[in-house]
A = this chain, B = another copy of it.
């Protein structure tokens, strides 16, 4: 059990912290990695500031099996992720010739110094090449450096996913009912005690003016998850509400 790989996401970009841009990568990465048995244990959103990136990378790469960063690998002055990661590892940036070749084909005479910057990777890094962009991401030890644009981040993740050591896939089921959380909280706590290998979460919602809750059971033991959901359905009926039929999330 202690062998379960873990992940940390570093979302790099002033635009996320300022509220200009809604991050969409954590949702995708959290879902994809859970399915691969690599639960995301922490996510940090940090600005485009070199010392902040270096500090976060060097702290988190010790604590988690895998780090995934998004953002800051484009051609402009505020794209400093690659240079910061090189410094975090104490290496220089080196020109990656296959990427230069690909970019030359893509940009022809419009390949300039700013664009060429995207072909410089930390020495020793493994490039992440995709079909959606000529500029690469890269892997430096356990740190996976990806673009911030969601379609590119997803393509880069898909490219590196086969290289990751997976754990036991996390499965989940949920069950909804129009019931206040406080009505069922005591019973939920008892069920959580009984099934310590299932992570039971309770999330209130408000729909068409009615209060309801969604209870999620997550873990790697399918039988235990099923037992938890069935027991909760029974309790909901005892409390006089009919649970909304659940769908398996995966």
Instruction: Report the Cα distance A220→B83, complex, angstroms.
Output: 28
- In the complex, the answer to whether B17 meets A39 with C-beta atoms within 8 Å is yes
Could you say which of A21-29, A120-128, A136-144, A154-162 contacts chain B? A21-29
Q: Among A24, A48, A149, A185, find the residue whose CB has the most chain B CB atoms closer than 10 A.
A: A185
Give 1 or 0 for each of A24-50: 1 = CB within 8 Å of chain B CB.
Answer: 101111111010000111111111100
**Number of identical monomers bound together in the oligomeric complex:** 2
Interface residues on A, range: 35 or more
- In the complex, the answer to whether A200 meets B77 with C-beta atoms within 8 Å is yes
Contacting residue for A42 out of B45, B76, B182, B189, CB 8 A: B45
- In the complex, the answer to whether A27 meets B19 with C-beta atoms within 8 Å is yes
Least CB distance from A102 to B in Å reads 14
Least CB distance from A242 to B in Å reads 19
Dominant secondary structure at the A interface: mixed
Given contact pairs A18-B39, A182-B112, A76 touches B26 in the complex (Cβ within 8 A)? no
- Residues from chain B with Cβ under 8 Å of A112 in the complex: 182-183, 185-186
Given A15-B203, A42-B46, A112-B183; 19 other pairs, CB 8 A cutoff: A14-B201, A17-B30, A17-B43, A18-B39, A18-B40, A20-B30, A20-B201, A26-B45, A42-B45, A42-B47, A43-B44, A44-B44, A45-B45, A48-B201, A74-B202, A76-B181, A77-B188, A78-B202, A110-B182
- CB pairs A–B below 8 angstroms (18 shown): A14-B199, A14-B201, A14-B218, A15-B216, A19-B30, A23-B23, A23-B26, A43-B44, A44-B45, A48-B201, A75-B185, A76-B185, A77-B202, A110-B180, A110-B183, A114-B189, A115-B182, A149-B206
